[in-house]
Structure formats: C-alpha cells, structure tokens
Structure 1
Amino acid sequence: MGYYFQLLRWNKPSGRLILLIPSGWSLWLTPAAPPSLLILGIIILGGLFVSGAGCIANDIWDRKFDKKVIRTKERPLANGKVSLKAAWILLILMLFFSLFIVLSIPQDSRNLCLLLSSLSLPFILLYPSAKRWFQYPQLILSICWGFSVLIPWAASESSLAGGVTLLFCWLATILWTFGFDTVYAMADESEDKVIGLNSSAISLGGKSLKTVSLCYFLTCIFLALAAFKANLGLIYWPFWLITTLGMQREVFLLSSKSKGIKTSGLHFSNQVRLGSLLLLGMVFSKII
C-alpha cells in the first residue's frame, strides 16, 4: 500500500498543498467568502484526486527516463515496485473519483464545473509529455494550476463573472507556478540535458533566477490588486508584505547556493509556507 501512496505522492503533503493554496485564494476572494464547509470539502478532495491522477500520468510517461535521474529513480514505477497495469488501474480510479467529486457540486454550479474539469483534463494528461516536445513544459503545468482557481470560483459563485479579482488571482497562480516549477526543474537540469528533455530551467539558462524573481514579484502585485478589488481588510496587508519580501529572499538564497535536489526541495517547501501565509491573511481578513 505504501508504494501506491508514493505513486500518488500522498506521502508528500507539500505537493498537494501547493495545488490547494491557489484554490484557497480563489475561494476566499469570492464575494461569497467565507466558503461553505461543503464547498471546502469538495475542493480539497477534488484536489487530492486530480493531483494524484496527474502524478500517476507523469510517472507512466516518464518511467523509463525516471530510472536515469537521481531525484526520480526510486519512484515506484521506475524501480518496479508498482506494475504498469496497477498504475493504469489507479489512474482510472483517480479520474473516476474526480468525476464523482465534480458531480457532487451543488446543481447551480455543477455544469460549469464539469465543463472546466473537462477542459483541464487534456492539459493534466498532456503535461508529462510536454518536456519531450516543448521548451517550456512548466507553462503547461501553470495552465493546469490555473484551473485550481477557476473551478473553486465557479463552484462557489456558479459563474466566472469575477472580473478583475478572478483574472488577477488566475494570473498570479499561473506566474507563481511557473516560478516555483522552474526552480524545481533546476534540480534535474544537468541530467535532463543528457537524456534530451526540455525544461524552462534549461531554456532560460542564465536568465532563470531573474525570471523566477519577476514571476514572484508579479504574483504578489496581481494578488494585491485582486485583494483590493475584493475589499479585503487591513489585516491582510502585513501578510502580503511579508510574503512579497519572503519570495524575493528565496530567490536571493538560490543565487547564493549551488543548484541541487535539496536546494530546490527547500525552495519548494518554502513556497508552500509563503503561499499559505497569503491565504491565512485572506482568511483572517474575511472572518475578523
């Protein structure tokens, strides 16, 4: 059973949280915020199942390449602990559970959420192959993450008529995801070059850290504009300021350290903390 949890990445909560955080931003920026417990539960379960499906699809595509990369060679499909047949069965189950979750959304929002979920599925399943044919596969992942903003908003509001607030939350999520996944790709940069895979870290080369810094800066600017339009209270802004400075500090620390699995992993974990801090500010602003 433990190997199946590893295949789903459920043994690594940071990867699940970093998907659910933008969903939280979206829910707490809606006019209906704070969201109901039903909507919160649906979004959390949906995020777990969808991210699990994405991780399995990624490992199925990359099982041969993963054997050649230090960071991924011990993944269950790469080391043979889980069979390809079992992985396909688990992928189908995750997609079925994801569909069940969407169908559990209140009727007023169900059709729109079903449409958005259907639109997201090709990107989720396409992303693992993108590193073979696209110089910036992290952009495909960013689009996947963008649906984690659109679907919760639709579930809560029964429409996508969110105006500037929704647009800027979506853009912030796209940029944040591109930034942290570019850093994550740096850990595999040398090995990806050898085996012929693409990543934004390779394509950007020496401009990688400047690009990540710009992505984080724009993320915070867009979330500030979204929060302003959503009429968040004053209590939000200290959280926003600390996060804005913290993201730039993380980029500075990267420039002073050698690239590697531990460095990229720590950066990833710290982005979870910083994104959570922003969400906490939104929550406090709505309930206090």
Structure 2
Amino acid sequence: MNWPAIKEKVDLYEKLMRLDKPIGILLLLWPTLWALWLSADGRPDRIVLWVFILGTVLMRSAGCVINDYADRDFDRHVERTKERPLTAGRVTTKEALALFAGLSLCAFALVLLLGNPLVIWLSVPALFLAASYPFTKRFLAIPQAYLGIAFGFGIPMAYAAQLGAVPAAAWWLLLANVFWAVAYDTEYAMVDRDDDLKIGIKTSAITFGRFDVAAVMLCYATTLLIIAGVGYAQNLGWAFYAGLAIAAGIMGVHYTWIRGRERMACFKAFLHNNYVGAAIFAGIVVDFLVSGRSFA
C-alpha cells in the first residue's frame, strides 16, 4: 500500500472537514451543551452527552464538506478560500459527496443508539438544514439566520433526548442561537464582504450595509435577553447571570474590534465568540452546582 499517498488523502479530508479549525465545532457545541444542562437540571445523562458531543463533531464536519461542495466555484475567487482541497482540485466532487454521506450516516447511527423516536425524527430536519444552508447564500438576504437554525438544531434534539418532548424553552433557546449566529457570522462575513460583492453571494454584512456593527451589537443584546428569560423561567441564580454578564463584557470587547471594519479585527472577533458560548455555559454549570441540584 502507498502509505504516503493515503496519509496525504487523509490530510486533505481532514482539511475539507475543517478539523484543523475547530471554531465551528465549538460554536455548534456550546448551544447544545446549554440545552443538555438546562433540560436535565444540571444532570445530563452521560451517554446522551457523549452522543451529542460526537454528533456535533460529525455534523459540523459534514456541513463543512457540503459547504465547500456548494461553494467550489465561488471559493476560487476568494483569496482566503481558493486553496481549499475541493476548490483546488485535490479532492474530487465524488469524494466530497461520499465523505458527506459517510459522516451523516455515522451521525445518524449515533442518534439510533439513543433509541428515542422523537430525536430520530428531529434528526431528519437537522440533516436537511445542514445540507441546504450553503445554497441559501444564493437567495436569502441574511443566510446567517438560517445558519443559526442549522447550528442550533441540537437544542430541540437535546431537550427531546432528555425529556422526550420539546418544551417552549427549547424553541426560545434556538431563537437566541439564531441571533447569536447572525452576530458572529456577520463579523465573519465582514472579512469577505468585498469578495462576496464581486461574486454575487448574499450575506448579512452586505444586507446590513453601514449598519452592520449596530446590527451585530443588537443581535448580541437580543441573544442575552432571550437566554436570561429562559434562565429566569427555570429559577436560575446569580452564577447564571454572572456568566451572562461576562459574555456581555466579551461582546463589548468585540465592538471595539469591529467598529473599524478591519478584516483581521473582524475575524478575531468572530473567533472570540467561542468565549461567549463558554461563559454562558460556565454560568449554567456553576449555577446548578452551587444550588445543589447538579452532580459534583
């Protein structure tokens, strides 16, 4: 066997799945973890937890593959993406589609392990959202909102896995994730705005125009207000709100970075959203621990 060639191909698949850039996994994982802890009063089932963690990695990887497949003709005109494996011709379209199918099947197999009919049914729209999002950039003025639904669909699935039902709190939390995704992905879109205008892709950064920074901050504020409402309804305490306050402080720092609309500063703010999600999650976990409702 030609091991160097195999290793090179594996490396290309890894880059196609963006495993070398885990920020997308984290932005997908944090809302799922919020939902798992909130739905289980701080005591998520360990098997459910690991299924959702692994499923997040698989579905984010599948999403990256189908995104690059959809954007393969556009990406060659963007400096930041023109060397991606599929765009550069180092991975074929058949290989990409086979990889997407394989990753999706593995994620579905994990869902089947839970043996929960509602979660199984919810996995169908989850897959549709992940597969269709890349194509929404052709016709939706704010495709980032669609991304927020796709990235947040682990929320109702988490509630279904823990409770066997999807209460209103799950949909409110999903809505909060939509606003968060619009905020952080607008920062991301601000990096490529000039290139996207040339090639005709629609993004929130283009749609918001000169109000882009204000829109980001408004979406951030709405995210925190909705999550605060969910926590209030669940009688969460000071630690939860401290986590939200820290997240708000981080968002304030982002404003100082993006107000000048410099490409690298906007990209830095996008990446920094990992700490927003982590701060909110930490507040939830600590609140359940100090209240005595969670396990040590």
Does TM-score exceed 0.5, indicating one fold?
yes
For 2:124, the equivalent position in structure 1 comes to 118
Q: Are 1:197 and 2:206 an aligned pair?
A: no
Give the Cα–Cα distance (whole angstroms) in 2 for the partners of residues 3 and 264 of structure 1: 27
Offset of 1:225 from its aligned partner?
1.1
Q: Structure 2 residue aligned with 1:170, among 161, 171, 174?
A: 174
Offset of 1:11 from its aligned partner?
1.0
Pairing of 1:1-288 with structure 2 (within 5 A): 1-105=10-114, 107=115, 110-161=116-167, 163=168, 165-255=169-259, 257-260=260-263, 262-288=264-290
Offset of 1:216 from its aligned partner?
0.3
Contact 1:29–1:226 at 8 Å: present in 2 too? no
> Residue by residue, what CA displacement relative to the aligned partner does 1:175-225 show, whole Å, maximum 9, x if unpaired?
101111111111111111111111111111011111110100011111111
SS of corresponding position for 1:44: helix
For 2:7, the equivalent position in structure 1 comes to none
Offset of 1:287 from its aligned partner?
2.2
- Runs of 4 or more, structure 1, over 6 Å off, are none
Give the Cα–Cα distance (whole angstroms) in 1 for the partners of residues 184 and 15 of structure 2: 21
Amino acid at match of 2:190: M
Amino acid at match of 2:215: T
Amino acid at match of 2:210: G
SS of corresponding position for 2:71: helix
Amino acid at match of 1:276: A
Contact 1:138–1:181 at 8 Å: present in 2 too? yes
Offset of 1:32 from its aligned partner?
4.1
TM-score normalized with structure 1 length: 0.93
SS of corresponding position for 2:165: coil
Amino acid at match of 1:102: V
Give the Cα–Cα distance (whole angstroms) in 1 for the partners of residues 41 and 51 of structure 2: 16
SS of corresponding position for 1:33: coil
* Range with bigger deviation, 20-29 or 127-136: 127-136
Give the Cα–Cα distance (whole angstroms) in 1 for the partners of residues 204 and 156 of structure 2: 25
Contact 1:31–1:230 at 8 Å: present in 2 too? no
Offset of 1:251 from its aligned partner?
2.0
Stretches of structure 1 that go unaligned for 5 or more consecutive residues are none
SS of corresponding position for 1:132: coil
Give the Cα–Cα distance (whole angstroms) in 1 for the partners of residues 41 and 134 of structure 2: 35
TM-score normalized with structure 2 length: 0.91
Stretches of structure 2 that go unaligned for 5 or more consecutive residues are 1-9, 291-296
SS of corresponding position for 1:235: helix
Give the Cα–Cα distance (whole angstroms) in 1 for the partners of residues 187 and 261 of structure 2: 12
Sequence identity, in percent? 32
SS of corresponding position for 1:77: coil
CA RMSD of aligned residues (A): 1.4
